[in-house]
Amino acid sequence: MRMPSLTILGLAFIATTAFALRVFGLQYGLPAVYNPDEVAIMARALSFAKGTLNPHNFLYPTLYFYVLFGWVGAYLGAVWLAGGMSTVAELQALYFTNPTGIYTAGRLLGAGCGTASVIAVYHLGQRLFDRRVGLVAAIFLAVAPLAVRDSHYVKHDIPATLAVIVALIAIVRIWPHTPEAGRLRNDVIVAGTACGVAYSTHYYCIFLALPLLWAIVQRWRADGWHVVFRHTVSAGIISAVVFFALSPFLLVEPIVAWRDITANREIVVDRALETGAFVPARRYAEMLWTDSMGRAVIALAGVGAMWMLASSPARAILIALFPLGFLAFITNTAPASRYLNPALPFLAIYAAWALARLADRFGAPGPALWIVAGAIAVSPLTASLRSGAFFRTDDTRTLARRYIETNLPAGTTVLIQPYSVPLMASKESMVEALTRNLGGTARASTKFQIQLGLEPYPAPSYRLIWLGRGGLDAEKIYVDPAQLGGSDGIAALKQLGVTYIVLKRYNAVDPELRPLLAELSRRGRLVAEFTPFRAGLSAAELARVEPFLHNTDTRIDDALERPGPPLEIWQLDDPDS
C-alpha cells in the first residue's frame, strides 16, 4: 500500500528529528572514551581484523560485532580512499593516536539504528492499526530520552531494539485480519528468519518466541492444532538455523560459550536475586516512569494497554507478549536503564493507539490529534535536548587531563585509578609493565606491539601506576589500596617514584581509601580538583546526587553541570625523602 505524500513528509520530519537528537553530542569525550563498555565492544569487533571471525567470547551473540566490524571497516576504507592514510600501519595507529573517527563511526551506527527504529515503529503501528497510530508512535519513540541517550553509545541495546521491531513487523505478516495475512507466501519463513536475526543480536530477544507462537496460534488454530504445531516447529527450526548461522562459533566453542553465559548470569542475574525474586522491579518501574519516554506517554500507554485488552484482547496480547516476557526477565537482573529500550516501542504503540481512540471517541477534528501528540512530546523532547547538551559539556576527566598535560612534565610517575583520567602511558611505562607481567614485550599481544611501535609516540605520556588489585591488564602495574595506609604506604609509593596521585571521589568514601586519604591530608598537597556539580549546592544536595558516568544508571540531575566523577590531584610532599 502506497503512503500518501503527507504521511511521507510527516515521517521524514519525525525521522530527521530523531536522527538530529541522536547525533547531538555524539562525539562527547573523544578522543577519550569514558564508557568502558564501548571500549570492550569496539576492541572485540576490531579484533576480527587479525584474520578470524571467532570472538572467543560469548557474553553476547556475534551478529552486532560483525556488523560493527564491517561498519568501522567501511569508515577506514573511506579514509584510505580519501587519501587520509596511505598504509595499513597508519590505519592501525589511528586506534591509539586518535580514535575519534573510529568511535564516531561506531556511535553513528547506534544513531542510525535508533532512527531506523523510529521508522520501523511507524510501519508496525500502521500495519497493526492505521497510519495515525504509526505516526504518533514514531513521534513518541523519536523523542524518548532513554532511546535518544542510548543511541549515543557503541552498545547492543539500540540495534537489538531495531531487530525486535523488525521481527514484530515480520510476525504481523502471520497475524490474521491484516492486509498482508493470506496474501504473502512463506510467512513463517520470514518471521522465523527475522526472529533468528534478533536472537543473534542479543540473547534477550528470545522472548520474541512468545508473540511468534501467539500469531501462529491465531492464524491456524481453526485448521487444527496439528497445523499449529507444524508451523511452530518450522518457525523454531528456521530461527535456530539463522541464529547459529549469524553466531556460528557458539557451536564451535560450546564450553567457552557456556562459561561466558554462566559468568554473565552470575553478574547480571544472580547478584540481583540475592535480595529476592523481582526485587529490582521497583527500580525498573521508577526508571520507566521518570526517565524513559515522559510520564504522559507512559500513562497513556497504561491506558491504551488496558483499553485494548478489553476491546481487542488478541491484538493487545500480541503487542504485550514480548515486553511482558522481557520485563519479567530483566526485573530479576541488576538494574540497568539501558535494558528497558526494547520495551519502549510497544509502549509507544499503546500510547499512540489510546490517543487515536480518544480522538475518535470525542470526535476531535483531525489536527487536534497532532496538536495533542506534539504537546505530549514537548517534555521528552526537552529532556533529550538537555541530555545532548550535557554530553557536549566537558567531562571532569577531560578537564583533569588538560590540567595534567599542561602542568606535569612528560614522564612524571602518576598513581591513577581505572576509568579515571585518560592519560597516555609512556613507552617506557608499557615496557616496564609488560616485562613485569609477561616477562618481556615479545609476548605482548598484537595491540600492544602496534602501540609500542608508534612513531612518533603520542605525547605527552606518563609513567602510570594503577590503584587496584589488578586483573588481566598486562600493560598495567597495580598497587593494592589495602597496602597504602599509613606512612609505610606513602613510602611504598615514593619507592615506586610516584609524585602525583589522581583520585576519584564519590558521595560515599571508599573504606579502602580512607587510610590513604588521611595520610595524603597530612603529607600531601591538593593541587587541583574538578567537580561535576553546580556551584552553591548544599551538603544535602551533594550527598543526594550521584555523578553521571555513562555506564551507570545515574540520572542527569539539575545539580550536575557536567559528566564525570569528582576528581582530586594530589602531589606528594618531598617525593625524594
Which tens digits make up the pLDDT trace of 55-66?
Answer: 998 999 999 999
Which tens digits make up the pLDDT trace of 225-268?
Answer: 999 999 999 999 999 999 999 999 999 999 999 998 888 777 77
Is the separation of the CB atoms in 328 and 321 below 8 Å?
A: no
Looking at residue 499, what is its pLDDT? 95
Give yes or no for a cis peptide into 456 (omega within 30° of 0): yes
Query: What is the average pLDDT value for the chain, to the nearest integer?
Result: 91
Selection from 39, 23, 22 nearest residue 31 by Cα = 39
* Predicted confidence band of residue 314 (pLDDT cuts 50, 70, 90): very high
Give yes or no for a cis peptide into 176 (omega within 30° of 0): no
**Higher per-residue confidence, 88 vs 150:** 150
Q: Maximum Cα–Cα distance for the chain, whole Å?
A: 89
Looking at residue 178, what is its pLDDT? 55
Would the pLDDT of 423 be above 80?
A: yes
The Cα–Cα gap between 550 and 556 comes to 10
Mean pLDDT across the stretch 54-82?
93
Which tens digits make up the pLDDT trace of 367-414?
Answer: 999 999 999 999 999 999 999 999 999 999 999 999 999 999 999 999
Cα torsion 125, 127, 130, 134 to 10°: value is 30
Which tens digits make up the pLDDT trace of 95-134?
Answer: 888 899 999 999 999 999 999 999 999 999 999 999 999 9
Percent with pLDDT over 90 in the chain: 70
Is the separation of the CB atoms in 200 and 246 below 8 Å?
A: yes
Mean pLDDT across the stretch 551-571?
92
C-alpha dist (Å) from residue 423 to 94, 417, 429, 466: 16, 11, 12, 12
Would the pLDDT of 182 be above 50?
A: no
Give the start-end residues of each E strand in 273-345.
Answer: none
Task: Please give the DSSP secondary-structure letter assigned to residue 333.
Answer: S
The Cα–Cα gap between 85 and 466 comes to 34
Would the pLDDT of 575 be above 50?
A: no
Looking at residue 349, what is its pLDDT? 98
Looking at residue 533, what is its pLDDT? 95
Is the separation of the CB atoms in 466 and 433 below 8 Å?
A: no
The Cα–Cα gap between 250 and 248 comes to 5
Is the separation of the CB atoms in 205 and 199 below 8 Å?
A: yes
pTM of the model: 0.93
Looking at residue 121, what is its pLDDT? 98
- The half-sphere exposure of 134 on its side-chain side, counting CA atoms within 13 A, is 23
Instruction: Kindly give the residue spans of alpha helices, DSSP state H, lying in 393-485.
Output: 396-407, 427-438, 446-452
Ordered by start, the domain boundaries in the chain are 5-391, 396-572
* Predicted confidence band of residue 185 (pLDDT cuts 50, 70, 90): low
* Predicted confidence band of residue 429 (pLDDT cuts 50, 70, 90): very high
